[in-house]
Amino acid sequence: MKSALLLLAAVLICGNVSFAAEPPAAKPNVVFIMADDLGIGDVGCYGKELCKIDTPHIDALATQGMRFTDAHSVASVCVPVRVAIMTGRYPWRIQGAGRGGPWGFLSPRMPTGHFTLGRMMRKIGYRTGYVGKWHLGTRMPTTDGKPQGLENVDYTRPLEIGPPQYGFDHSFILPGSLDMYPYVFVRNGQFVGQVTAQRGWSAFNRVGPTAADFEDYKVLDTLSREAEQFVARSAEAARDGKPFFLYFALTAPHTPTCPSPAFEGKSKLGLYGDFVAETDDCVGRITKSLKQHGLDQNTLVIVTSDHGPAPYAGNVRKATVDNLRDLEKLGHHSSGIYRGYKFSVYEGGLRVPLVVRYPGVVRPGTQCDRLVGLNDLMRTLADLCGYEPADDEAPDSISFLPLLRDPAAESPRTSLVMQGTHAFVIRRGKWKLAICPGSGCQGAWGNTPSQNDAWQQAVEQFGRKPSPADLRAAPFVQLFDLEHDVREQKNVAAEHPEIVQQLFDLLDGRIAAGRSTPGEELTNDVPNPNYHSRIPPFVRQR
């Protein structure tokens, strides 16, 4: 018994020694994996009894590292989130570059000279790679000199603007989401394959230009294989002190819900569960690759989702109103305990899973309840590598490295600006102000109450059409105390007008300053961003 106790004590002592107060001297490799439309309740270690899908690989990372419980996206729809992660700036500050066409023909969402995550990591000394969904806009070569669109792209010539122009040494991307044409991969700026077909996929069946051999159910495997190959090609240099940064942007479980044959029937939940299971397997493939190449102990792995789950996704392949709610009848809640879905201002659309494994720095099995935003990735990696961004670089990004060292430390981030499709949100501490009544989105697929219904009810309650000043108070805004009402069931704006005013002042200040970090005021690329721009016309005073 005495020997056993001594052995246990030695193990515990050695275990404590293995966790550094500071990151290791050698820069770690970094793998950032972001799923698309993965709800916080779709992950086993978050959804728990409300999750009916097994996600062993993400759960294993949480066991080996840290699980954040108050992590948020800056928007509940794809493009602005990706802009914020890539730039460390709120997306509403940034002016897109030029005109483009629909869906995957989107033009660049930021100037090529903008400071980006890829450019920063390359500057720090990393080999940079981007694999997966891009959705930050491209400039494609055209046959007529006009903006890219359905009929004028020259697929034999390379992109004029794509990942290489934003700091990535290697890239293999899908221009937009998996249900957004053109359906063709792009490797290092060059289209892959012959774009000779016209096809669409389940969910929305958007028919458009397609590579002849492109199949929706093969995409996850293709992207995972490309990511594995990037790790393999980078391994020798990484072992010799040249680290790599891999941004792996999965296309799932965003529609079309199309698990590969190997995963159909794998989950207990049906088609949607199968697709989430395959998404989780992609994470497992990368962690396995890291271990195979002897890199797992010196690699920081971060797994998250761009925002909450889509209400139109589920076990019916076609996009369907309340499709996701049908899974709730089976006991699976993609938004977990939270209200709302993708597009909305509610936590179900904005709160995301965030799991971090960093051996020797992050203690296994830890949980952090502090507020962080996905836009904080840039400053966190800069802090990790000892890089000090210039005053105008990443002005809305705040490092959460102190929380990786000590999850109980004081939160570096005290507030966060977010947005649904039709309204802004400002969070400070336990308080969350949504600058709208209702879900802050159209509500066409299942978010309630819808934009028009909520505003109509608010006007009726108010008794007349509001003035601009009236729009800054109840019933035209929603204030939630997330400490006592994380499900956002009670709007307490009328009871706490002083808190509403304070949060408006904070938001106005964040907008005017051009930044939310200390420093000289900056100029927004977009003049006078307006968080009241999507109010229904029938509400406004004449």
Task: Report the alpha-carbon distance of residue 250 to residue 219 in Å, rounded.
Answer: 9
Task: Report the alpha-carbon distance of residue 370 to residue 290 in Å, rounded.
Answer: 29
Residue 10 belongs to a domain: no
Q: At what angle do helices 377-385 and 78-87 cross, to 10 degrees?
A: 20
Q: Where are the beta strands (DSSP E) in 311-470?
A: 354-357, 366-373, 415-419, 424-428, 431-434
**Same domain, yes or no: 398 and 440:** no
Q: Which domain holds residue 523?
A: 417-539
Domain boundary among 358, 382, 413: 413
Whole-Å CA distances, 347 to 415, 482, 521: 15, 10, 30
Query: 139 - beta bridge partners?
Result: 161
Task: Report the alpha-carbon distance of residue 350 to residue 34 in Å, rounded.
Answer: 14
Task: Report the alpha-carbon distance of residue 126 to residue 86 in Å, rounded.
Answer: 16
Residue 478: φ, ψ to 5°:
-125, 130
CB 179 within 8 A of CB 207: no
Residue 164 belongs to a domain: yes
**Same domain, yes or no: 51 and 170:** yes
**Same domain, yes or no: 393 and 445:** no
Average pLDDT over residues 380-401: 97
Pairing status of strand 190-191 against strand 186-187:
antiparallel
Query: 142 - beta bridge partners?
Result: 153
pLDDT digits (tens, 9 = 90+) for 89-128: 999 999 988 889 999 999 999 999 999 999 999 999 999 9
**Same domain, yes or no: 389 and 459:** no
Task: Report the alpha-carbon distance of residue 48 to residue 458 in Å, rounded.
Answer: 36
Mean pLDDT score of the chain, rounded to an integer? 94
What per-residue confidence (pLDDT) applies to 2?
Answer: 40
Percent of the chain with pLDDT over 70: 95
Residue 216: φ, ψ to 5°:
-60, -40
**Same domain, yes or no: 255 and 294:** yes
Whole-Å CA distances, 325 to 117, 360, 502, 515: 36, 41, 36, 38
What per-residue confidence (pLDDT) applies to 315?
Answer: 98
Q: Which residues contact 311 (CB under 8 A, 6 or more apart)?
A: 321, 322, 323, 324, 325, 341, 342, 343, 445, 446, 447
Domain boundary among 413, 429, 455: 413
Residue 308 above 70 pLDDT?
yes
Number of domains into which the chain is organized: 2
Sheet strand arrangement including 190-191: 190-191, 186-187, 170-174, 127-133, 244-253, 29-36, 299-305, 354-357, 66-72, 366-373
**Same domain, yes or no: 501 and 371:** no
**Same domain, yes or no: 509 and 460:** yes
pLDDT digits (tens, 9 = 90+) for 42-69: 999 999 999 999 999 999 999 999 999 9
Which run of H or E residues covers position 271?
Answer: helix 271-292
Task: Report the alpha-carbon distance of residue 172 to residue 133 in Å, rounded.
Answer: 9
Residue 396 CB neighbours (<10 A):
25
**Same domain, yes or no: 208 and 77:** yes
Burial code (b: 16+ CB inside 10 Å, e: under 16) for 524-536 equals bbeeebebeebbe
What per-residue confidence (pLDDT) applies to 24?
Answer: 57
Average pLDDT over residues 396-409: 98
pLDDT confidence of 9, banded at 50, 70, 90?
very low
**Same domain, yes or no: 293 and 174:** yes
For the chain, the maximum distance between any two Cα atoms, rounded to a whole number of angstroms, is 85
Residue 8 belongs to a domain: no
Amino acid at 181: Y
Map residue 72 onto helix, strand or coil: strand
Task: Report the alpha-carbon distance of residue 46 to residue 500 in Å, rounded.
Answer: 31
pLDDT digits (tens, 9 = 90+) for 464-488: 999 999 999 999 999 999 999 999 9
Residue 10 above 80 pLDDT?
no
**Same domain, yes or no: 437 and 345:** no
**Same domain, yes or no: 275 and 142:** yes
Residue 16 belongs to a domain: no
Token pair of 535, please?
A: 């109010």
Q: What is the CATH number of the domain that holds 518?
A: 3.30.1120
Nearest in space to 152 (alpha carbons), one of 206, 96, 99: 99
Task: Report the alpha-carbon distance of residue 433 to residue 504 in Å, rounded.
Answer: 8
Residue 206 belongs to a domain: yes
**Same domain, yes or no: 484 and 426:** yes
Task: Report the alpha-carbon distance of residue 242 to residue 122 in Å, rounded.
Answer: 11
Whole-Å CA distances, 109 to 117, 445, 510: 14, 26, 21
Residue 268 belongs to a domain: yes
pLDDT digits (tens, 9 = 90+) for 155-203: 999 999 999 999 999 999 999 999 999 999 999 999 999 999 999 999 9
DSSP per-residue letters across 114-178: S--HHHHHHHHT-EEEEEEE--S--B--BSSSSPP-TTTB-TTS--SBSGGGGT-SEEEEESS-T
Per-residue HEC secondary structure of 489-513 comes to: CCCCCCCCHHHHHHHHHHHHHHHHH
Q: What is the CATH number of the domain that holds 290?
A: 3.40.720.10
Please report the sign of the dihedral spanned by the C-alpha atoms of residue 270, residue 273, residue 277, residue 282: positive
Domain boundary among 413, 433, 458: 413
Region of 115 (left: φ > 0; alpha: ψ -120 to 50; beta: rest) is: beta
Residue 200 belongs to a domain: yes
DSSP per-residue letters across 338-373: S---TTSSSHHHHB--EEEE-TTTSPTTEEEEEEEE
Residue 347 belongs to a domain: yes
